[in-house]
Amino acid sequence: MLLNVLAVAAVSAAVLYVLYKWLIPAAVQNSGWLALIWHDVIVERVLNILTGLSRPQRMLKAVQKNATKGDPQSVIAAIDYYCRHKEWAMNVGDDKGPILDSVVSEVNPSTALELGTYCGYSTVRIARLLSPGSKLITVEFNPAYAAVARQIIAHAGLQNKVTLVEGGSGDLIPKIKEQFGITSFDFVFLDHWKDRYLPDIKLLEDCGLLKKGSVLLADNVICPGTPEYLEYVRNSPRYKSQYFQSYLEYTKAEDGLEKSVFLG
Ligand SMILES: C[S@@+](CC[C@H](N)C(=O)[O-])C[C@H]1O[C@@H](n2cnc3c(N)ncnc32)[C@H](O)[C@@H]1O
């Protein structure tokens, strides 16, 4: 009797493990929404309980263990490896990352703004490409994420190029000129909550923080999606806009970046 109970328990545990580790992740790979619900809601909560750490803290540990201090590329590689093989996270990721890199390199911004820092993955990607003397301001309203991002940016040795501001984008944007002495941004990466993309670029316009030739790059325009933002930048005579197709981070579901040049 006891042996039967143990056998049933062992088989059930094995089935659950296979489901959790391989079958469900494979099944949700091609659907952005299912992938987000599985990884971002279910797995994250289970791992938080099991490890007593948050997902950003687990990512930070992976960076501290596997990345070389002062080497941004190794920080990026450590995060991508962790997110592909251990646990999904909402970084721009290694499919869309090279698109971000090529736009940053093409613009070669002196002044750059990132809305939505999370753990600093895209911050590191952008800051490592900046020319000497250039500056990146990155904005994050979650203090726990900001604390992790500061450590990851420092691990990459990029703390002198980056100013991380804690607070909401809508509160910060109107104060940027006065607080940081910046007249306009050459490059803006939008990667915060999707319903803020449109109000925040309108705020950037109203505050005079965009000049002719400023480049906006928006992540996740397909998944989770930013329909009002796309409608605006694609139809406004003030922008020339282009879509770059790719995949939602660490999945096979379609997502992409929208590059929009401000025409004045
Ligand atoms: C998708 S994650 C950013 C990922 C990051 N850019 C990367 O690729 O590594 C979005 C982040 O934006 C932050 N956020 C959302 N809305 C915000 C707002 N209005 N102001 C500041 N931060 C915001 C969230 O807390 C979250 O950390």
Q: Give the model confidence (pLDDT) of 158-210 as tens digits.
A: 999 999 999 999 999 999 999 999 999 999 999 999 999 999 999 999 999 99
Domain residue spans in the chain? 93-262
pLDDT computed for residue 48 by the predictor: 95
Quick one: average pLDDT of 239-246? 98
User: Is the CB–ligand 1 distance for residue 165 below 6 Å?
Assistant: no
Return the active site residues.
191, 194, 219-220, 249
Torsion angle, CA of 210/211/213/218, rounded to 10 degrees?
0
User: Is the CB–ligand 1 distance for residue 142 below 6 Å?
Assistant: yes
CB atoms within 10 A of CB 14: 10
pLDDT computed for residue 85 by the predictor: 93
β-strand partners of 243: 258
Instruction: Report the residue count for the chain.
Output: 264
60-75 per-position pLDDT tens digit: 999 999 999 999 999 9
Distance 106 CA to ligand 1 centre (A): 24
Mutate to test the pocket of ligand 1, among 141, 196, 217, 246 (most ligand atoms within 8 A of CB): 141
Compute and round to an integer the Cα radius of gyration of the chain: 20
220 is in an annotated binding site: yes
Quick one: average pLDDT of 238-252? 97
User: Is the CB–ligand 1 distance for residue 147 below 6 Å?
Assistant: no
DSSP 65-124: HHS-TT-HHHHHHHHHHHHHHT----S-HHHHHHHHHHHHHHH--SEEEEE--TTSHHHH
pLDDT computed for residue 1 by the predictor: 79
For residues 87 and 248, give the distance between their C-alpha atoms in angstroms, rounded to a whole number: 14
DSSP 41: I
Q: What is the mean pLDDT of the chain?
A: 95
13: its two tokens: 């545990």
231: its two tokens: 């409608």
| CATH placement of domain 93-262 | 3.40.50.150
Q: pTM above 0.85? A: yes
The model's confidence at residue 228, banded by pLDDT at 50, 70 and 90, is very high
Are the CB atoms for 259 and 189 separated by under 8 Å? no
Quick one: average pLDDT of 132-158? 98
